[in-house]
Amino acid sequence: MSTAPHLVVIGIGHVGSDVVTNAAALGLFSRISLIDVDEKVRDGQALDNHQATAVAPAMTSTITAADYDACRSADAIIISAGPSVLPDSYGGGHDSRNSLAQINSKVIREVMGNICQYTHSAPIILITNPLDVNVHIAATEFDYPSNLVVGTGTALDSARLRRHLADWAGVSPDSVQAFMLGEHGATAFPYLSHASIGGLTLAEATTALGLEPLSPEQVGNSVVQSAFDVLEGKGWTSSGISKAAVSLARAMLLDQRSIHPVCTLADGVLGFHGEVSLSLPAVVGGHGVEHHLDIVLDEWEQEKLLASAAAVREVYESVRSSGNGTELNPRRG
């Protein structure tokens, strides 16, 4: 990492603009470069964010509009390009997810092709949906080091799960340790067999706090539905996912070796051998994904993981042969 870290953000829609705002507020990056197919929007967003750095307390980042050659000096790249997910495509509509994949797989292939002209060493953090499919494309089709290709994964799903469990137990989310795993989407599932509240297993917390027992299926459905509720009301999600992306960039640049449920190529973990990308707990540090945790799943969780992997793989196969060459609009994240 350089002494003055440089972040490149590709795709300046709802999510991308929030990424820039959060990254500037973090104070870690001396430069933030914005890339978007719509140069007018790119320039306006860059100017807006750059002027905001002078509002007290003043920020140290220089924020500018850029082209792909900015990737040459990037210490981290965040991709939020492509149309945003629609409510029915997140909530289980197979045709809608496939339609989004047909569009955004082309976007990601174009974006990765442009990035690879200038670097194969900067960590890449993907947000673009369908996330797991796009991570798999980026990690397997461009000879980019797979440990440096990371999706935000189920970080946001896991935050929703912790919020759900905290509300159930009547405690702060800071006291809850729990992950959603698998696909970032309808087939994500709660990893409750090893979740904890204040050091207690959920079974112990249920007894200690006098609570009604939880159903993993109902918890998972509730967490997935909560994402749909946000999309249905607001039209997009941006606040949580942008913070998650910036948090991953910080973990890499500061070599924090913190544990995140990131989406990566699943190779040599839980019986997978590189045939799919999905979210599992991993140590994230200066070399990107350092390694996955050797977690133990119960029978229900194992079934859910395999079903989630199959769903991701099915969508990937539908776009596997998709070429470039279609008119693209890599923006609206």
CATH number of the structural domain spanning residue 183: 3.90.110.10
Distance separating alpha carbons of residues 29 and 111, to the nearest angstrom: 22
User: Catalytic site residue 184?
Assistant: yes
Cα dist. 119→12, 113, 183, 286, 325 in Å? 21, 10, 28, 17, 22
* Identified catalytic residue from 184, 260, 287, 292: 184
Q: What is the pLDDT of residues 235-264, one digit of tens each?
A: 778 888 999 999 999 999 999 999 999 999
pLDDT at 87 over 80: no
86: pLDDT confidence band, cut at 50, 70 and 90?
low
The binding site for NAD(+) consists of 11-16, 36, 104, 127-129
Residue 59 domain flag: yes
Q: Are 148 and 154 in contact (CB under 8 A)?
A: no
Q: pLDDT above 70 covers what percent of the chain?
A: 92
Q: Over the chain, what is the mean pLDDT? A: 91
Cα dist. 190→30, 222, 237, 250, 299 in Å? 38, 10, 20, 26, 13
Q: Are strands 6-10 and 31-35 parallel, antiparallel or unpaired?
A: parallel
The binding site consists of 11-16, 36, 104, 127-129
Distance separating alpha carbons of residues 209 and 150, to the nearest angstrom: 38
Residue 46 domain flag: yes
- In this prediction, residue 102 carries a pLDDT of 93
Residue 94 domain flag: yes
Residue 226 domain flag: yes
Q: What is the pLDDT of residues 145-155, one digit of tens each?
A: 999 999 999 99
Bigger pLDDT: 227 vs 45: 45
- In this prediction, residue 251 carries a pLDDT of 98
Residue 327 domain flag: no
Contacts of residue 302, defined as CB under 8 A and 6 or more positions apart, other chains included, come to none
Residue 45 domain flag: yes
**Number of domains composing the chain:** 1
Contacts of residue 333, defined as CB under 8 A and 6 or more positions apart, other chains included, come to 11, 12, 13, 14, 15, 16, 80, 81, 82, 84, 127, 128
Contacts of residue 7, defined as CB under 8 A and 6 or more positions apart, other chains included, come to 23, 29, 31, 32, 33, 74, 75, 76, 77, 78, 249
Lowest mean pLDDT among 3-7, 114-118, 156-160, 255-259: 3-7
Residue 329 domain flag: no
- The one-letter code for the residue type at 67 is D
89: pLDDT confidence band, cut at 50, 70 and 90?
low
Residue 328 domain flag: no
Residue 147, domain extent: 1-320
